[in-house]
Amino acid sequence: MSPLKKTLRRLYYRLTASGRPEFHCPICGYRGIFKDKKLYMSDSLVRQYTKCLGCDSKERHRMMHLLFGEFFPNKGDAGKRVLHIAPETFMRPFFRERFETYHTADLFMDDVDFKEDLQKMSFADGSYDCVVVSRVLTCPPDLEACIREMRRILAPGGVAIIAEIYGHEQTVEFGEFVGERHREIGVDAIDLYQKHFGRVDLVMSDRYPEEYQLHNRILENGKVKDDYPELVRIPGVGFKDVVALCRA
């Protein structure tokens, strides 16, 4: 989007959305209102204050930005070699500048370095220092195979960075593809991470200042939806964004 269009868009939202809270984007520095987004699987669900009007970042992008700033501030802190699975375009430059070797992989995307099935990857053991997966684990039929594979391709001391939504206590398996998904992830998936990795640290969105707007604020028919697992629930708001740092 051109700078002029961006400026006009900000003005438009500022004029038509008076009374809405203002936030601060840690990525681009924008301060102002953030845009809502309809959730793709439903007409009645809206995600509030999602998108930064400066750079189009969403909660998970801002979260990743802050997390790296805190845990891996310098190039090489998370290793030299990263594999980014199902890479979001928005995040590619972010990771490229932090690692010496930046590879992308996906089974279905065209513009990636490797066509790989996360359940059974062709890489040798210990090939990477860091693996990043964001909102991917709902898709492959065998969840545990994915976790096992991420651990296998990590070198000693490596880290898997897993960003997921935990909408249930127990993972709901569909037993078949529903759209492109095979399940909705539950908090119990974290036990799986712990089973395969030496140490798992959960970084949650309430770790960082509210001004960055990292929480998942879901409205259902105009009302706050907050019937989420205790681990992530924020009463009256929605649920926390969670990134698991799983160390090999």
* Residue of the chain from 50, 57, 127, 171 that contacts Zn ion (CB under 5 A): 57
Is residue 52 a contact residue for Zn ion (CB under 5 A)?
A: yes
> ∠ at Cα 241 (54, 7), nearest 5°?
10
Select from 56-64, 139-147, 203-211, 238-246 the region that touches Zn ion (CB under 5 A).
56-64
Assess 54 for contact with Zn ion (CB under 5 A).
Answer: yes
Print the binding letters for residues 108-137 with Zn ion: x by CB under 5 A, - otherwise.
------------------------------
CB of 120 to Zn ion, least distance (A): 37
Six-digit token pair at 131? 């693996």
Q: Which is nearer to Zn ion, 53 or 105 (CB)?
A: 53
Q: How far is the CB of 191 from Zn ion (least distance, A)?
A: 35
- With contacts defined by CB under 5 A, how many residues of the chain interact with Zn ion? 8
State the nearest-atom distance from the C-beta of 64 to Zn ion, in Å: 13
Q: Is residue 213 within the footprint of Zn ion (CB under 5 A)? A: no
Of all residues in this chain, which one has the CB nearest to Zn ion in the complex?
Answer: 25
**CA distance readout (Å), 114 to 84, 85, 107, 153, 202:** 10, 9, 8, 14, 29
52 vs 146, which CB is nearer to Zn ion? 52
When the beta carbons of 25 and 146 are compared against Zn ion, the nearer one is: 25
- From the CB of 28, what's the least distance to Zn ion, in Å? 3
27: left (phi over 0), alpha (psi -120 to 50) or beta: alpha
91 is a site residue for Zn ion (CB under 5 A): no
**Residue of the chain from 23, 24, 25, 192 that contacts Zn ion (CB under 5 A):** 25
55 near Zn ion (CB under 5 A): yes
Query: DSSP of the chain, one letter per residue?
Result: --HHHHHHHHHHHHHHSTT---EE-TTT--EE--EEEE-TT-SSEEEEEEE-TTT---HHHHHHHHHHHHH--STTTT-SEEEEES--GGGHHHHHTT-SEEEEEESS-SSSSEE-BTTB--SPTT-EEEEEEES-TTSSS-HHHHHHHHHHTEEEEEEEEEEE---BSS-EEEEEEETTEEEE-BTTHHHHHHHHSSEEEEEEGGGS-GGG--SBEEEETTEE-----TTTEETTTEE--EEEEEE-
Contact pick of 23, 24, 27, 131 for Zn ion (by CB under 5 A): 27
The interface mask with Zn ion, positions 153-182, x = CB under 5 A, is ------------------------------
Which residues are near Zn ion by CB under 5 A? Answer: 25, 27-28, 30, 52, 54-55, 57
